[in-house]
A and B are shown apart, each in its own frame.
Chain A
């Protein structure tokens, strides 16, 4: 391709302008240094197990050390024997379990026959739950079955969940349910 005089001036003019911009108006090193900084560089690393399915993939949770302790990033744990760093699409979105503005942060209550949810306090909600569980459990508790064998159970309460609990939380939950005498203890991932 041949350059004529006119094109040459056009190009050299544009180039001079380019030099002026890069030389005076903008510090490129700032943008480039961004590439060498990792957002998890100063974060605290904690390992966890994905709460979703029964595969039990390991993940690393990066939390801020600046006091608020919020989650910066969650990704697969390369040292975990099951997933070796990989995660599925749900697992890859684990961060949203805590960092999502659509998350409910207060207990909600819908009264019988009502079509509206209302925000209630934790104290109120926990008390209400305790009252109802105790009432139903005491009313329906069976010490023995028809054959006279000791069963100590209630078949009028069932427990479902939770997919958002990790292994240790599940253990505590299971203990509580068993101590109340529940036999219908299920997890929705299995249904």
Chain B
């Protein structure tokens, strides 16, 4: 049974505890940034920022809505990056948790091809081409702890657990949120293990909040490699 994270953006206050807790646990350095006219900081995900609370201000029904979106890797059920890489020493799935994990061997991959394959635009490359992103705190999860971000969340906007339980609670919560926000929805719940609940149009929160046809997925070459997958495994034996 894979693990899932549910992120209810309707009760997120953008305190950024998740963002800091993530950096803290992974011993990632801070970045030098400039004020870009928003509380969102740093401006984007990077090799040393796996989690970022995106903030946008939108006028919706004549009311100013400040939308918060704690962006991170979705740990896709069928991960395009994993299939694009086709190299288990670089990108693999932990069968116990469902987490998609990047190793230092991602340095040998075509970084831009991997980033391009991600429908959510998550992986980022270091100066030397090594790829980095959220690892769902696999070390913590394997040892019975919750991911650092979920542990830190003071409002309970993030919850963590077995996939079926998280899906059930997400659907239950959606029903309740819809009473106030009729357009509320879960984002790609059947495709990903990090399930977001948004109150408004997901595109307002982040350009890549939902998987879109014009980004990600498998190129022809990758699809061919994927078709060869079972055969390649036979060869290894």
A1 and B223 form a contact (CB under 8 A): yes
A172 at the interface (CB under 8 A from B): no
Q: Which residue of A lies closest to B223 (CB)?
A: A1
User: Of B121-129, B139-147, B188-196, B201-209, which binds chain A?
Assistant: B139-147
Give the distance in Å from the alpha carbon of A16 to the alpha carbon of B228 in the complex: 12
Give the distance in Å from the alpha carbon of A39 to the alpha carbon of B24 in the complex: 12
Across the interface, B21 reaches (CB within 8 A) one of A11, A12, A75, namely A75
A35 at the interface (CB under 8 A from B): yes
B224 and A11 form a contact (CB under 8 A): yes
A interface, size bucket:
35 or more
B228 and A11 form a contact (CB under 8 A): yes
Interface size on B, residues (CB 8 A): 40
Most chain A CB neighbours (cut-off 10 Å) among B152, B153, B223: B152
A126 at the interface (CB under 8 A from B): no
How far apart are A64's CB and chain B's nearest CB, in angstroms? 14
B227 and A3 form a contact (CB under 8 A): yes
User: Of A80-88, A112-120, A174-182, which binds chain B?
Assistant: A80-88
A121 at the interface (CB under 8 A from B): no
Taking A11-B225, A38-B139, A75-B148 as contacts, is the C-beta distance between A22 and B89 under 8 angstroms? yes
B76 at the interface (CB under 8 A from A): no
Q: B130-144: which have CB < 8 Å to A?
A: 135, 138-140, 142-143
Across the interface, B17 reaches (CB within 8 A) one of A15, A23, A26, A88, namely A88
A75 and B224 form a contact (CB under 8 A): no
Main SS class of interface, A: helix
Note all chain B residues with C-beta closer than 8 A to A23. Answer: 236
A37 and B24 form a contact (CB under 8 A): no
B86 and A87 form a contact (CB under 8 A): no
A1 and B89 form a contact (CB under 8 A): no
B139 and A92 form a contact (CB under 8 A): no
B89 and A36 form a contact (CB under 8 A): no
A19 at the interface (CB under 8 A from B): yes
Across the interface, B15 reaches (CB within 8 A) one of A3, A22, A76, A88, namely A88
B235 at the interface (CB under 8 A from A): yes
Instruction: Flag B211-237 by CB within 8 Å of A: 1 or 0 each.
Output: 000000000000111011001100110
Taking A7-B224, A95-B24 as contacts, is the C-beta distance between A19 and B236 under 8 angstroms? yes
A189 at the interface (CB under 8 A from B): no
A89 and B15 form a contact (CB under 8 A): yes
B236 and A37 form a contact (CB under 8 A): no
A14 at the interface (CB under 8 A from B): yes
A87 and B224 form a contact (CB under 8 A): no
B228 and A12 form a contact (CB under 8 A): yes
Give the distance in Å from the alpha carbon of A148 to the alpha carbon of B150 in the complex: 61
Give the distance in Å from the alpha carbon of A4 to the alpha carbon of B131 in the complex: 33
A31 and B89 form a contact (CB under 8 A): yes
Q: Which residue of A lies closest to B154 (CB)?
A: A86
A14 and B225 form a contact (CB under 8 A): yes
A85 and B88 form a contact (CB under 8 A): no
B94 at the interface (CB under 8 A from A): yes
B181 at the interface (CB under 8 A from A): no
Note all chain B residues with C-beta closer than 8 A to A69. Answer: none
- Interchain residue pairs with CB less than 8 A apart (13): A12-B228, A26-B105, A35-B138, A37-B139, A73-B25, A76-B151, A76-B152, A78-B151, A87-B21, A89-B15, A89-B16, A91-B152, A92-B21
Which 9 pairs across A and B sit closest by C-beta, in order of nearness? A92-B20, A92-B21, A86-B154, A89-B16, A15-B232, A89-B20, A31-B103, A35-B138, A38-B143
Interface residues of A (CB under 8 A from B): 1, 3, 7, 11-12, 14-16, 18-19, 21-23, 26, 28, 31-32, 34-39, 41, 73-76, 78, 83, 85-93, 95
